[in-house]
Structures are given as structure tokens and as C-alpha cells.
Amino acid sequence: MKNMEQLELDAHRDELVADLSELFEKYRTIFGWDIPEINQPAADKLILAAMHKALDEIAGQV
């Protein structure tokens, strides 16, 4: 049986994914403004790597 915390997270998982997708799109837009001739797949990988690093840093604080 799942614990209460897991059940609560499961209830909000779609919202979490949507929020992270919006954050990713925010930085895709910023990259596009700053670099008009951007290599989008390369930029996407950089953004995702930075997001992973930030999440790792946050995880290290809890």
C-alpha cells in the first residue's frame, strides 16, 4: 500500500509535469530571443541539463 505522501504526489503529478513544461518553454523562448539562429535541439539539451542540475542542487538541500 502506498503511503500518504506518495498518494498526494500522485494526485498532483500532472500539475507538476505541466509546471515543469511551462518552465522549460520559458527558457526555450529566452534562448530563441537571445540567439535567433539557434540550434534548437542543442539548446533543448542544455536547458534540460541545467534543469537537472538545479533539481540536484535542490535535492541536496532537503
Q: Residues 24-39: pLDDT tens digits?
A: 999 999 888 888 888 9
Task: Tell me which of 52 and 31 has the higher pLDDT.
Answer: 52
pLDDT band, very low/low/confident/very high, at 48 (cuts 50, 70, 90): very high
In the chain, what are the domain boundaries? 38-62
Model pTM score: 0.80
Contact indicator for 47, 24 with CB cutoff of 8 Å: yes
Give the distance, in angstroms, between the CA of residue 29 and the centroid of all CA atoms in the same chain.
14
Per-residue 3-state assignment (H helix, E strand, C coil) for the chain = CCCHHHHHHHHHHHHHHHHHHHHHHHHHHHHHHHCCCCCHHHHHHHHHHHHHHHHHHHHHHC
Percent of the chain with pLDDT strictly greater than 70: 100
